[in-house]
Chains A and B, each alone.
Chain A
Amino acid sequence: MGGNSKLGDGSGKLLEMLNVRVVGAGERVVVLSHGFGTDQSAWNRVLPYLQRDYRVVLYDLVCAGSVNPDHFDFRRYTTLDAYVDDLLAILDALGVESCFFVGHSFSAMVGILAAIRRPELFLRLILIGASPRFLNDDDYHGGFELEDFDKVFAAMEANYEAWVQGFAPLAVGADVPAAVREFSRTLFNMRPDISLFVSRTVFSSDLRGVLGLVRTPCVVVQTAKDVSVPSSVAAYLKAHLGGRTAIEHIPVEGHLPHLSAPAALVQVLRRALASPR
C-alpha cells in the first residue's frame, strides 16, 4: 500500500519531496544515501571527486531535516522497508537500471534491504559505518546495550539540543571541528520527534537474519574507531553478507568519514567503484 501509492502519486512529487539531485557526467550511476542525522549535504565534500566520472544521484531520506517534516508519515515509516520503497521509487523514477549504492549508517541498512529486494538494480553496495544490528546479543556485539538506548532516548527527549551538542562530537569522533559543526547542524535540523522516531526504528531493526539474502557484492567501509559500530561488526557483515564482500579500513576515526575525512573516504570509494565486478 504505502510504497505503491507513493509511486502512483507520481514519482515527480517524490523526487521533489526528497530533493533528489542528479549531478555529474558519467555513465555509471552512483547513489549516495546519507545516514541518520545528516542530509545529502553530508556528501558535499565527497561529491566533487565523483562528479567527473559518475552520474551521482543524491537524495534526502524522508527523515532528514531538509525534507518537509509533514512528509514524514509516522504510520508509514515504521520500518526500514518504507525507506527502501522510497529509494527504489526514486531509482525507478530516474530510470536507473543499475547503480552503485553508497550508504552511510542508516542508509547502509536501507541499501542492504533494497539490494535484497531488487538485486539486479545494484552493482555494488558500499556500506559506510554499517551495522545490521546495534544492540548486543548473546553472540553478537553490536556495541549497545538496551539500557544505553534508553538513556539515549531519554536524553533526546529531555533536551534535544543538548543531546545533539553532546552526540555530534562523539559521532564524528575525529577532532574535526568543521565536521562536528556540520553534523550538529543537520542533526539539529531534524525535528526531534522524527529524530526520536527514526532512531527507534533503527534500533529496533535487525538485519542479521537477512544478510545472507544479499547477492550484490559489498564493500564495507570501516573507520578505525566508530562509536556506533564496533569493528567486529564489519567482520560480521563480511561473514554473513551473501555477496562477495570486502572490508576497507580507513585510518581515521569517527562514524562520519565523509564529513571528517572525505578525501580518505574518496580513495576508498574510487577503488570500490572502479574495481571490476
Chain B
Amino acid sequence: MPTPVSNARACLAAEAAAALDDAVAVARRRAHVQTTSLHVVYALLHSSSAAAPAGGSGGGAGTSSAASCPILRDALSRARSSVYSPRLQFKALDLCFGVALDRLPSSSSGQRQTGEVGGDEPPVSNSLMAAIKRSQANQRRNPETFHLYQQQQQSAAAGGASSFPGVKVELQQLVLAILDDPVVSRVFGDAGFRSTDIKFAILRPPPPILRFPRATRCPPLFLCNFSAGDGFEAALTPLRPVLPFSPAAGHLCSDGGDENCRRIGDILARKEGGRNPMLVGVGAGEAARDFHLAVERQNWTILPPELRGIELLSIEKAAVELKPGSVDLSSVDARLEEMGRKGEAPGVVLNIGDLKDMVDGNAECDERERCLVSELTRLLEVYHGRLWVMGWSATYETYMKFLSRHPLLDKDWNLQLLPITSVRSGKGGSLTRPPSLMKSFVPLGGFFPTAYESKDPLLSVHPSSRCQHCDEKYEEEVSIILKGRSASVDQRDARLPFWLHQSNKVDLNDGSNAAKAEDDKTILNAKIMELQTKWNQNCQRLHNSCQRITDNFSGIPCALDPSCVLGVERACNKGSENPDETQNQRGFGTSLTMSVGTQKISMASQSISLPSVMEPRNKDLLSKLQVKFSKSEQLQKEGFQSYQGDDHASPSSVTSVTTDLVLGSLPESLSKEESPASKVKEGPLKEHFSCLPSADTVKTNVSGVPVSSFAYSGCHDSWAKSIYPSIPTQLSNGRTSTSDKPLLISSSIGKKFGLSNYKSFCKSLIDKVGRQEDAAIAVSQAIFHCRAGERRRGANWRGDIWLSFNGPDKIGKRKVAAALAELIYGSRQDNFICIDLSYQDGVARPNTICDQQEVSENDVQSRGKLNTDLIAAELRKKPHSVVFLDNVDKADPLVQNSLSQAIHTGRFPDSHGREFSINNAIFILSSGRTQGQNFSQKIDCNSFCEETILAAQSWQMKIFLEPSQEHISSSSKSNKVSCASSQELRYNQVYLQTDFSRKRKLDVYDDCNSHCETLISPKRARTVSKEFLDLNLPVEEIEANDHDSSSHGEYSKSQNSDPWIKEFFDLVDATINFRPFDFDALAKNLLKDISHIFCRAFGSESLLEIDQKVMEEILAVAWSLEDRGALDNWFEQVLGRSIIKAKHWSNLSSHHNVLRLVACEDASVDKYAPGVLLPLEIIIN
C-alpha cells in the first residue's frame, strides 16, 4: 500500500524532503503511479541542472535541492570507474535512469486518488518508503546522533505530540538507503556503477580519509557493513587496539629482538647439528643482550619449552679483561656438576661475548685465549647436551679471523652461524634509539604529550640511574600496575593482534570506556613516574656500589618495558579519543583493504571493459565476420566456379570479369546475385563456420583453379600469377565491402591492385624511393601477388601481407616501406608504423643522425613499453598501415612470439594477451642480413660503410686554417677538397682532382694506425705510397667494434633468435633483397658540390680537407633526407658562408692554404640548421 507523500515527508529532514519533493515532481511530470526510489535518484541527479522548485507542496519549505546534488554527484564522480570518460558515464547513467523511468507504469487512466493529501502527488512507493524507514533506523542507531534522538524521543514522548518517530532522515542516510534498493542498484549497474562503490564514496569524503592520525568525522562504513540494508551496527564494531600489557603479551610489538631470541632458542634446542649459536651481524650484540635479558627475566614464552629454566653465564667480561681463564670455567664446571646432580635445569649457556675482543687481544691474551678455548672445548665434550656456548660478532670477518686462529673450532664447538640483521638503533648498536623513531612507532604520535613524558624517563633515566636489581623490581611493580589496569580497561582486547585489526564484537558503550581510559591514563602515568622515582632513590641509596649494567641498556632498556609503555600509550591514545575518531582510526585499516578491493575490482573491470579492449574485440568480431563472409563467398564461389566452368570456359571472359572488378564497379548482376545469396547463406553458414577444413578445401579450389588454367600466357610467370588469381580476391573484396562497411578501405585498396595499376604503382614506388629499383619492383610484385590471393602461407584467407626486407640500406628500406604506406593506405603519417626492434625500452638510444631523422617515436608514452606492446598499440591506432619493423633479427622473444602468432593467426597479441587484428596491415620485417650473412663484409671495398654512417652523430664543426706546404708536398698539387680524418689519426684522404680534365676521381687513402700519435708527415707519406692497401683495416676495426657492442647488447639475439628468424623468414610472403647503398657515389656527389662552393669562395689554389667524421655526418644527412634541398641549402648557407668567412679571416690567399673542416667530437650541435641535423654555425678557428 503506497504511502501518501506527506507522511513520507514527515520522516525526512529538510534536505531530504526537498529531494523527495523533487522526486515527486518528476513522478508527476511523467505521470507515474507512484514515486519510487528511481525518481528520487533521478531527481537528485538532475537537481543541479533543473533546480526544480519544490513542486508545489511546500513541505520542504522550498529548500533548494542544490545542496543535495553534490552528495550523489560527488560520490558518483568518485565511484565511477576510470575506464570511461566521466561525461560518457554520466550520460549513460542519465540514459539508464531515463529508460528505467520510462518502463514504470504510468497512470494513464486518470490519477488514482489514493492519497488523502494532495491528490496530484503520486504516493510514495513501498520500496521507497522501506528505504526511508531503513535510513531512519540507521540514523537512530548512529552514535553521532544517538543521544540527540534519545532526548528528542523523550521530549516527544513528554509532549506526546508527534505521531511519527522523531528521527528526521538526513539526505545522506536517505541516499544510502535508496542505493540499497535493488532496482536502483540495477540501474546503476547498467550504467557501469556499483552502488556499493557509490555508497562507499558517499560515506568517504574524498581526501582526508587517507590521513593517518585523524580521520574526519564521518562514520566509517565499509562494504562488509553493508551486508543487509541496515547493517550499520557493524560499523560500530570497536576495533580495539592490542594492549600488550602482560609479560606474556609483552613480545607482541617488539621490534625484532624477540624474534632473534626465538631463533637463538631454536638453535639451542636443536638435537643435532650446530647447536651453539654464533650470532653474526651488526645487530648481533644487541641480540645477544636481548637473549641474555630474556633468560635472566625468565621470559620463557619466546624460547622453546625444552629450554625452560636454562641458565646463562656470561664470561664476556672475563674474556675481555683479564682472562683469568680456567677460574671462570671451573665455576661453570662446578655449577654444571651441581645441576647434573640435581637434574633441575636443562643446562647452561655460556656466553663468550664479542669475538672481536678475543681476536683483537695481544700476544699475552692470545695464550689465555687458547687456554680458554681448549678448556671450553673440553667442557663442551663433557657436558654435551647441557652446556652451550654462544658468542657474537658484528662482522663476518671477525668471525673468520676467530676461526682462523682456532681452526676447526666451528666443528668442535658445533657452531651454528646465525645472521642477525635487525638493528634497532640508528647506527649498529652504538647509539640509543632516538626518540623520534620511537615516536613514530606510536600511531598517534604527538597526540598526547603526557604519554611521552612518561616514556622518556623510562628510556633515558632508567638505564643510567638504577642498577639491575632495582630495575627488575621496578619493572615488576610497573607490570603489576599495568596488569591491573589491563584487566580494568578491557580484557577482551588483549587477544587482538594489533591496533588495526578488526574484531567482530559489538560495543556500543565505547564512549564511556573512553572516558574511563583517559582517567586511567593519567593515573597510570603518575603511578609510573612515582615508581620510577621511588626505585631510582632506592637504587641510589642501597646499591650504589652495584655493578651497573648500563651497557646492556644502551639500546633499548629491555624488551619488556618499552613495549609496556608503548602499549599503555596506545591504550591511552586509543581509549581517550572520542568514539568517532577511534572508530575512524580502526576503520582505517579496513577502509584500506576495502579500497584495495575496489581497486582490484576496478582493475578487473578495466581489463574487461577498457575501450582499447573493446576495439580489438570489435575488430575481432569484424574479422570473424569477414571470415564468415569469405566463407560464404567461398561457398558461393564453389557454385560460381562450377558455373564458371560451364559458361565461362574461355579465359578471356574471365579476365573481363577481372577487369570489371578491378575497376571497382561490381557488375550489377553479380552483386545482385550475391546479396540474396549471402543472406540465404547466413543461416547455414553458422554450421559451416565450425568446420573450417572444408572451407579451406573450397578455398584452395578457388584459388587453385584459375592459376593453373590461366598460367599459360607468355608473360612472366609472376605476372601471370599476379594478375589472374586476382579474381577471387577481387570478388571477395567486393563482396565483403557490400556487406561490411569497415572493410571498405581494404576493398578500395583492392581496387588499386588491378592490372592497369601495377605498372603505375611500381613506377610511383620507385619514384618515391629514388633508388633500389629492383627492390621496389620486387615489392610491388609481392604486394600484387598477395592482394591477388596468391599466398605462400596457403590456407589462410587474410588481408595481411608479410614481407621481409633483407640486406643493407636501412634508410632505403624504410623509405620503401614509407612509400608503400603512402601509396597503399594514403598517408605516411597515419598509416606507417616504424619501430626499430633493436632498441629496447629505456636503453639510451644513440644520438645518431639517421635515427633522429626518422620519426621521433620515442615519446614519453612509448617509453618503458615493451616492443610488443608498442607495436600492438600502434596497430590499434592505425589498423590500416604498413608496419615496418627494423632489425627483426634483434627482436626479443616476446616480439618473436607475437610475430609468429600473428603470421599464423592473423592477430597480433600484446604482452597482456590482447589480440589485434592485422588483417589490413602490411608487415615489413627488415634485417641487415642477407641469407644469414652480415652485409658489412660485402661492402668493405667502399670507403664509407653503412655502420659508420649509421653511427654518425651530429657534432659541431670547425674550420682550421693551416699553411699547406707539407700537405702539398705529400700529395698532388692540384687538390682542392680533401676529406680526411685527422683527429683520430686515421687519415682518410679523399682527394678530388678538379684540375684539368674536370673529371673527378675519388681516391681513398686509409690509414689505420690509430694507436700512433702525432707523427703526421711520415704517416702521410706512407699513406700515399700505400694507396689502397690499408683499406680493409677500418673494416676490421668496425667489425671489432661491432663485436664489442654485440657481445653486450645482442646477447639474446645470438642466443635464440637465429633459428627463429630463419624459420620466420620462410613464412613471409616475399623476401626482398636490398642492395648496399653506394655511399661513395653519394660522397663523390657531395664533394663535387662542396668543391663548387669552395672554388667559388676560395679560389683554386687552396685545399679543403674534410674530416672523415664530418663527411660521415654529411653523408648520413644526405642518406636519410627525403630530398637534397635542405642539404643544398646548408651547403650554401652554412658551409659556403663559413668558407667565405674563413677566407676573410685568413687573408692569406697568396699561400696555398689548407682549410680543415673538422668535427668536434666533444660538443654536439646546439643549434641545427633548418631541415638538416647539421650545425647552424661552423666555428672558424
Contact = CB atoms under 8 A, between A and B. Distances in A.
A103 B1057 CA distance: 27
Contacts of B841: 176, 260-264
Contact of B259 (A78, A135, A176): A78
Interface in B1047-1063: 1049, 1051-1052, 1055
A150 B440 contact: yes
Contacts of B281: 206-210
Given A78-B256, A137-B427, A252-B842, A212 B210 contact: no
A270 interface: yes
B840 interface: yes
Contact of B210 (A159, A189, A204, A210): A159
A267 B422 contact: no
Contacts of B500: 191, 193
B211 A159 contact: yes
B1010 interface: no
Contacts of B397: 212
A interface SS class: helix
Nearest to A178: B864
Interface in B418-443: 419-424, 426-428, 434, 436-437, 440-441, 443
A51 to B, nearest CB: 8
A179 B864 contact: yes
Given A49-B892, A213-B396, A263-B840, A82 B596 contact: no
Interface string B593-607: 100100100010000
Contacts of A263: 840-843, 866-867, 892
Interface in B843-896: 843-844, 860-861, 863-867, 892-894
B283 interface: yes
Given A2-B262, A48-B894, A161 B210 contact: yes
Nearest to B252: A75
Interface in A117-155: 117, 133, 135, 137-138, 146, 149-150, 153-154
Contacts of B864: 174, 176-179, 259-262
B780 interface: no
B286 to A, nearest CB: 10
Given A178-B864, A191-B589, A270-B1051, A212 B840 contact: no
Given A78-B258, A263-B866, A48 B897 contact: yes
A121 B592 CA distance: 37
A189 B599 contact: yes
B863 A213 contact: no
B419 A113 contact: yes
A82 B259 contact: yes
Contacts of A200: 255, 441
B911 A193 contact: no
A112 B129 CA distance: 64
B720 to A, nearest CB: 43
B233 interface: no
A242 interface: yes
Contacts of A146: 426, 434, 437
A264 B842 contact: yes
By CB atoms of chain A within 10 A, which of B253, B395, B421, B1049 has the most? B421
Contacts of B428: 137, 206
Contacts of A65: 596
Interface in A66-82: 69-70, 73-76, 78-82
Contacts of A225: none
B1052 to A, nearest CB: 6
Interface in A46-63: 48-49, 52
Interface in B245-293: 251-256, 258-260, 262-263, 266, 280-284
A196 B440 CA distance: 10
A154 B501 CA distance: 22
Contact of B280 (A81, A154, A176, A210): A210
Contact of A205 (B422, B437, B588, B593): B422
Contact of A52 (B255, B440, B501, B893): B893
Given A150-B440, A175-B863, A260-B842, A48 B911 contact: yes
A211 B396 contact: yes
A262 B867 CA distance: 10
A92 to B, nearest CB: 17
Contacts of A261: 840-843, 864
B255 A78 contact: yes
B537 to A, nearest CB: 35
Counting chain A residues whose Cβ lies within 8 A of the other chain, the interface size class is: 35 or more
Interface in B384-424: 393-397, 400, 417, 419-424
A156 B443 CA distance: 11
Contact of A251 (B253, B255, B395, B843): B843
Given A204-B423, A262-B841, A191 B284 contact: no
Contacts of B897: 48
Contacts of A175: 860, 863
Contacts of B1076: none
Given A191-B592, A263-B866, A116 B419 contact: yes
A16 interface: no
A109 B421 CA distance: 9
Contacts of B226: none
Contact of A204 (B213, B252, B255, B395): B255
Interface string A167-209: 0000000111111000001001101110000001100111111
Nearest to B501: A70
A204 B210 CA distance: 26
A79 B426 contact: no
B1052 A185 contact: no
A134 B522 CA distance: 39
Given A44-B911, A82-B259, A263-B841, A206 B497 contact: no
Nearest to A146: B426
Nearest to B395: A209
Contact of A74 (B304, B393, B426, B498): B498
B596 A191 contact: yes
A271 interface: yes
A201 B256 contact: yes
A156 B440 CA distance: 10
Contact of A1 (B262, B420, B592): B262
A251 B866 contact: no
Contacts of A73: 497
B448 interface: no
B70 interface: no
Contacts of A193: 443, 498-500, 589
Nearest to B262: A1
Nearest to B500: A193
B422 A79 contact: yes
Interface string A73-104: 11110111110000000000000000000000
Contacts of A205: 421-423
A267 B256 CA distance: 38
Q: Which of A162, A205, A257 has the most CB of B within 10 A?
A: A205
Contacts of A82: 259
A49 B421 contact: no
A65 B592 CA distance: 10
A157 B445 contact: yes
A274 B422 contact: no
Contacts of A78: 254-256, 258-259, 422
Given A157-B213, A160-B212, A212-B396, A185 B599 contact: yes
Given A49-B892, A206-B281, A212-B400, A191 B1051 contact: no
9 contacts: A45-B866, A49-B892, A49-B1052, A137-B427, A146-B434, A193-B443, A208-B395, A213-B280, A263-B867
Given A49-B1052, A206-B421, 5 more contacts: A191-B593, A204-B256, A212-B395, A267-B1052, A271-B1051
Interface of A: 1-2, 4, 44-45, 48-49, 52, 65, 69-70, 73-76, 78-82, 109, 113, 116-117, 133, 135, 137-138, 146, 149-150, 153-154, 156-162, 174-179, 185, 188-189, 191-193, 200-201, 204-213, 242, 251-252, 257, 259-264, 266-267, 270-271, 274
